[in-house]
Structure 1
Amino acid sequence: MQQVSRYFPRDLSWLSFNYRVLLEAKDATLPLYDRLQFMAIYSSNLDEFFRVRVAFIRSLIRLDKPKLKRELSYDPTVLLQHMYEEVHRQQTDYGYILRNSILPGLRENNIILYQQEPLHALHEQEIRHFFRSKVLSYLQPVLLGGSTANKPFLENRALYLFVKLRSKHRLEESESVYAHLNIPSEHLPRFVELQKVEGINYYMFLDDIIRYNLASVFPGYEVVEAYSIKLNRDAELYITDEFTGDLQEKIKKSLRQREVGPPARFLYDASMPEAMRQFLANTFELQKDDFFPGGKYHNLYDLLKLPNPCAPALRSPVLTPLLVQALENTESVLDAMEEKDHLLHFPYQSYDYILRFFNEAAIDPAVQEIKITLYRIAAHSFIANALISAARNGKKVTVFVEVKARFDEENNLRWAEKMKEAGIEIIYSLPGLKVHAKVALVIRKDAQGAEKKYAYFGTGNFNENTARFYTDHSLLTCHPKLTKELSKVFDYVCGQKKDLHFKRLLVSQFNLQETFLELINREIGYAKKGLPASIIIKLNNLEEETMIDQLYEASQAGVEISLIIRGVCCLVPGVKGLSENIRVIRLVDHYLEHARVFVFGNNHNPEVYLASADWMKRNLYRRIEVGFPIYDEAGKAEILKLIHFQLQDNMKAVWLDSNQQNHPVLPELDKPLIRAQTQVYEWLKQKEEKYITSVSNSLA
């Protein structure tokens, strides 16, 4: 697509990121099941992309409001066409990688996932028995067409076979009928393990087990052909008014409507005949633009569930989270926070210290109050249970629950109701805003009755599950000025105060964007004076035009800018006269890079901030986000070291050109290979070993 103005289209940039994920599946140096994992992640990402972004673009087109279109920096119809073309190109690569690399790799390791191979004689009876004993009771065949009181319906994201049948008693072509049949992968394994033969492990798609037994499902009919289909529905929650009425009930209602919402993508086997596609269009009232060709199998994010009979081989070894000795050697995390700040890096270091923080607060008789914001919480959350325990122990607990967190709405509502029953004060979503901040505050009284505050600031969610594979940072601090300002944040989200001022914390709706602009301007000032000027920013997504323009201005002034952007990057790097001093790299590896980090050179006296916020319109204008400074010199040095590894990565990093193409960062001649995530882990490990040695020496 032709470059639009000074900004690359957000959705095409996201597709560039997802293709980078697919490149990991293509990397033959990775263990086979790591590559399968990236195949699954790519598929899951694309599924959500259609449910959210494609559905949004299509809704803009349907609105047909010229004024709205003029305000956009792109023509949505042209953009959608380019999106489809790029997805088709990537899907072609996906199929090629699966057929020509992944499946042969499985076979080389004595694993056969039945595709075109003839069935082994021993498996025919086994498949028939599994179908009759396990599968048949879950099937819901529906004959289509003819007179019926019930309109046929396809469930959101469910798998189906669309089957062409012919009566065994009337063999004329005109007598063909159609049916659809669910593939019950929510109840049964998607990959069914079959009897091992001569040292070879056999598996079969649940889809194919059903295909082999279709004659049993439709007695009296000849099965002519069958193709897989799947419907994605628009995932947006359309709440017309958040400012009046019961917002929770509106969200619950919208969640039900999501499952019956308008089509975002009707995925079908590309080999399906045109006549069958036309029948589907008529039966389910689908438009031409709803149809999207795919392969024989859909929902390939299920590849994560393919059994690994060779485990632990064929997968990268799991890195054991490191123990942080400064916290291991103390009975109380709260007491340790009074001595110094503690900066933690997940998943390299254990998340148990965060669980300890809340568990101690829940039972410590000196703790009076706990406040926390929850955006995405684990389905079986230790933290939520600690909060419930605290409330039952007589502590005042206030929890802000964001019930508009996309795809986590139901889980968050469920936990909110459970915590409310335990006596916790629950504050729900703010009208017109999402609270995306990841913060907590514990208030404790010492023996003299003096109040002490303990703060948690993070770049990632309070979720012990995602903390195992999302890279994030968290700060545990008693810094009085930071804890005082965090109290103000809770005053705001709990509706107690509106007119607030922040000097140290960066809070969207108040000073976050303005402060970042000032910090960039300061570097511009240094550059214009001929002084050293640099900016390093790590984000998931960079989209907001005001921030991009300021980075362009900094580049033109001579500021050296390094960006680590995992996903969307609407900034166009490397353009002479605009952005030649801006380098953008994308880092995709075993862990999901999720932290937001901001380093401003400040004439060799760097300032470091961490935050929950990306630089997107939604984060800066429609959310409550919190950025926080790192004052502790040791903590600051750690962040700079970790960022240095990422900027030096020449194994998993790619650099982006002005067309968002992913180019490998190649190692320079005679320079060592650097894989940032491995280097970070080893460096932190050595740091802890040195700490142990120094403590041992001091005690000797």
Structure 2
Amino acid sequence: MYYFNRDLSWLSFNKRILQEAANPNVPLYERIKFLAIYSSNLDEFFRVRVASIRSIINIDKKKIYKHLSDDPRVVLDAILKEVNEQQQYFGRIKREEIIPELKKHGVVLYRDEQPLNDHYEVINHYFRSRVLSYLQPHILTGKKTRKVFLENKQLYFVIDLVGQSKEPDYALINIPSNFLDRFVKLPTINEVHYFIAIDDIIRENLDFLFPNYEIKGCYSIKLNRDAELNIEDEYSGDLVKKIQKQITKRNLGVPSRFLYDAKMPKEMVEYIKERFELVDDDMVPGGRYHNMNDLFGLKNPLSPELEYNYKPPLKIGSIEGYKSIFDAIDESDLLMHFPYQSYDYVLRFFNEAALDPEVKQIKATFYRIAPESFICNALISAAINGKSVVVFVELKARFDEQNNLKWAEKMKAAGIKIIYSMPGLKVHAKVAVVTRKNTKGQKVNYGYFGTGNFNEKTAAIYADQALLSNNEKLTSELDQLFLFLEKQETPNFESLLVSQFNIIDRFESLIDREIENAKAGRKALIIIKINNLQHQGMISKLYDASNAGVKIDMIVRSICCLVPGVKDMSENINVHRIVDQYLEHSRAFYFYNNGDDELYQGSADWMNRNLERRIEVVFPILKGEFKAQVIKMLELQINDNVKGVKLDHNLNNAPIEGALKVRSQVDFYEYLNRLGQPAVG
């Protein structure tokens, strides 16, 4: 096997999430969050990836399969098999570990057991005063039944009824978890905290909803629908046209997964399948409850117990001594590590730019905007203050389209020049440039180069880096990038690595240099940290480097199509994966270069879409002390044997042994703290 299938490798990553949910050393409510993350991830996977695979299956094999490295039918069967096994694992963790552990700590989440008598009055009152107004029961059988559309991700019950005619009837009723809290807090009794799912509140009141029927059974269902993914973002060339043609033949939001309680009688399953025009591939048996991403909303009455102790973000001493952040940048470039260090410095950069009378122009790219964005508000203030502000807003950021459009319209109304998505091209770069006059009256560009979005909400939980610099070479090339986005003027990049222009050639040349050093008997080392690795050209180049004797350490959070540890192919390549309290999001590219270290960071993963069909920016880390910080981070992550695993050649997340325990996220925080940055507060 030369490459892992990308979807099966992603499922391996999601299983790693489940391993954290099963880990007894993780605080209990953090384990519950990992269950929620797993469930949310899987929903998106079915809406996007599985939906696209099934689209391909419906296209004439002779016309389409020649474009693919894997038979989509075989892949889909393997996906469904793996997901079924993971769902059973999920259920065992929740049922046999999480629920009992909650009870040990005095937290009861009603499930199969009957509520206490003291809670019945509260449950019934909540049902009549809150739940009832959202319910829309439908009798599915009989002559007067009407067509029902199952909403995406909406929860429903299918109920087995027997009426006066003694003929079986089926009913459908929605579970309004999208309007009400999924888990309702009940009165505490004898210092025990009780919660009940809104599903079970409805179960307890089915007689009220169907007074003339005998209730024989009640089973939960959920339908995922096609997310209408941007096909061009996943595939290319003639294949895109064929898939798009297939999609136009279908109804909007075609089913991609129908999840139902595995205890539902077979004849009811067959009826539902026919009634809602489903096919066998849609049907996925599951547990009593669905939409377990709602576990995010299960409140911890013992907080902060049973949760991670999140340490306060660190101050950066090299900024704190300056009245203006621009004065600090004039003195030296600044490298920031989030969330270990405060994101407030990014807010300061934009806030000061908005009010500084010497700032003449601000340009920025946005991929995922925070719902309540301080940065966008600062840019609005800058425009109102008479500054020229240009913002590129990506409207094809999956599932963030509506929020991005809202902010784009708001900024445009304030006088900001908005550049929307370019046809056939996503802008994924996380960059900004501020043009300011210095004390000598000279124009100076101040560049922001990031690995993560301009999003203060995600910055608290995503591990990223950002560079602030007035390096003339870097900022002039950044200015060229914005001119390309504004006017399609052809840029010339030498220091920056930019997708669509020079990124693949530059990465290949950097790898080739390590190959030459290895062949000459010199030390050769590559360390690459990315979220996803799919691009076969880059993988083949890494295989070449491995065969030449280059030692390669990869830190790949999610998709990894490279098969590590295979003799005469990848025996010198190790792939590490880290799942901890923060989501590893930064990208870093280190090349030993015969002792003259060369290091880059940026927004680009090694996916086909990132290297070939997006605008990504990768920037050099030039200052020695910043190189040392990033290399220290990489070393800690490679040696992490607490939250790190190694991906083996069978897609297993293998534990890493070691007498000295290394937990990279905790240890890196302490490393930064020892550099002399006191904690905030």
On whether the aligned pair clears a TM of 0.5, the verdict is: yes
Residue in structure 2 matching 1:612, options 603, 613, 618: 603
Amino acid at match of 2:608: K
TM-score normalised by structure 1 residue count? 0.93
In the TM superposition, residue 148 of structure 1 has moved relative to its aligned partner by: 5.5
Structure 1 residues 656, 151: CA separation in 2 closer, same or farther (over 3 Å shift)? same
Question: For 1:275-331, what per-residue CA distance to the aligned partner results, in whole angstroms no more than 9, with x for missing partners?
Answer: 111121122111111111111101101111111111111111111111112212211
Residue in structure 2 matching 1:528, options 519, 527, 534: 519
Segments of structure 2 that go 5 or more residues without pairing to the other structure are 234-248
In the TM superposition, residue 688 of structure 1 has moved relative to its aligned partner by: 2.0
The whole-number CA distance in structure 1 between the counterparts of 2:531 and 2:617 is 16
Cα pair 2:138 2:145 within 8 Å, conserved? no
Residue in structure 1 matching 2:635, options 633, 638, 644: 644
Amino acid at match of 2:505: E
The whole-number CA distance in structure 2 between the counterparts of 1:477 and 1:656 is 36
Amino acid at match of 1:68: I
Residue in structure 2 matching 1:179, options 168, 171, 192: 171
**Partner SS, residue 177 of structure 1:** strand
Question: For 1:57-97, what per-residue CA distance to the aligned partner results, in whole angstroms no more than 9, with x for missing partners?
Answer: 11110112423212211110011101111111111111111
- RMSD (CA atoms): 1.7
Counterparts in 2 of 1:42-191, with a 5 A limit? Answer: 42-147=38-143, 150-167=146-163, 169-170=164-165, 172=166, 175-191=167-183
The whole-number CA distance in structure 2 between the counterparts of 1:565 and 1:555 is 17
In the TM superposition, residue 647 of structure 1 has moved relative to its aligned partner by: 1.1
Matched, 1:677 2:673: no
Amino acid at match of 1:513: I
The whole-number CA distance in structure 1 between the counterparts of 2:98 and 2:326 is 49
Cα pair 2:546 2:572 within 8 Å, conserved? yes
The whole-number CA distance in structure 2 between the counterparts of 1:27 and 1:37 is 12
The whole-number CA distance in structure 2 between the counterparts of 1:318 and 1:573 is 34
**Partner SS, residue 209 of structure 1:** helix
**Alignment correspondent of 1:461:** 453
Cα pair 2:363 2:432 within 8 Å, conserved? yes
In the TM superposition, residue 127 of structure 1 has moved relative to its aligned partner by: 0.8
The whole-number CA distance in structure 2 between the counterparts of 1:593 and 1:350 is 17
In the TM superposition, residue 199 of structure 1 has moved relative to its aligned partner by: 1.5
Matched, 1:389 2:377: no
Structure 1 residues 648, 262: CA separation in 2 closer, same or farther (over 3 Å shift)? same
The whole-number CA distance in structure 1 between the counterparts of 2:215 and 2:678 is 69
**Alignment correspondent of 2:243:** none
**Alignment correspondent of 2:528:** 537
**Alignment correspondent of 2:238:** none
In the TM superposition, residue 691 of structure 1 has moved relative to its aligned partner by: 12
Cα pair 2:314 2:679 within 8 Å, conserved? no
Segments of 4+ moved more than 3 angstroms? 145-150, 237-241, 257-260, 689-692
In the TM superposition, residue 448 of structure 1 has moved relative to its aligned partner by: 4.2
In the TM superposition, residue 374 of structure 1 has moved relative to its aligned partner by: 0.2
**Alignment correspondent of 1:356:** 348
Structure 1 residues 467, 689: CA separation in 2 closer, same or farther (over 3 Å shift)? closer
Cα pair 2:316 2:677 within 8 Å, conserved? no
Question: For 1:183-234, what per-residue CA distance to the aligned partner results, in whole angstroms no more than 9, with x for missing partners?
Answer: 1112211111111111211111110000110111123222221111111000
Matched, 1:347 2:339: yes
In the TM superposition, residue 147 of structure 1 has moved relative to its aligned partner by: 4.5
Cα pair 1:236 1:258 within 8 Å, conserved? no
Structure 1 residues 288, 574: CA separation in 2 closer, same or farther (over 3 Å shift)? same
**Alignment correspondent of 1:696:** none
Q: Which sits farther off after the overlay, 488-497 or 562-571?
A: 488-497
Structure 1 residues 345, 408: CA separation in 2 closer, same or farther (over 3 Å shift)? same
In the TM superposition, residue 29 of structure 1 has moved relative to its aligned partner by: 1.0
Amino acid at match of 1:567: S
**Alignment correspondent of 1:325:** 317
The whole-number CA distance in structure 1 between the counterparts of 2:56 and 2:604 is 26
Question: For 1:339-374, what per-residue CA distance to the aligned partner results, in whole angstroms no more than 9, with x for missing partners?
Answer: 100000001000000000000001111111100000
Structure 1 residues 158, 258: CA separation in 2 closer, same or farther (over 3 Å shift)? farther
Matched, 1:635 2:631: no
Cα pair 1:427 1:494 within 8 Å, conserved? yes
Question: For 1:84-113, what per-residue CA distance to the aligned partner results, in whole angstroms no more than 9, with x for missing partners?
Answer: 111111111111111111011001001110
The whole-number CA distance in structure 1 between the counterparts of 2:294 and 2:210 is 27
Segments of structure 1 that go 5 or more residues without pairing to the other structure are 242-256, 693-700
The whole-number CA distance in structure 2 between the counterparts of 1:628 and 1:503 is 10
In the TM superposition, residue 537 of structure 1 has moved relative to its aligned partner by: 0.2
In the TM superposition, residue 118 of structure 1 has moved relative to its aligned partner by: 2.7
Matched, 1:12 2:8: yes
Amino acid at match of 1:684: L
- Equivalenced residues, count: 665
Question: For 1:129-175, what per-residue CA distance to the aligned partner results, in whole angstroms no more than 9, with x for missing partners?
Answer: 111111111111122244559521011111111112222x32x2xx2
**Partner SS, residue 594 of structure 2:** coil
Amino acid at match of 1:29: N
**Partner SS, residue 532 of structure 2:** coil
**Alignment correspondent of 2:19:** 23
Question: For 1:635-685, what per-residue CA distance to the aligned partner results, in whole angstroms no more than 9, with x for missing partners?
Answer: 111111111111111111111111111110111xxx421100000011111
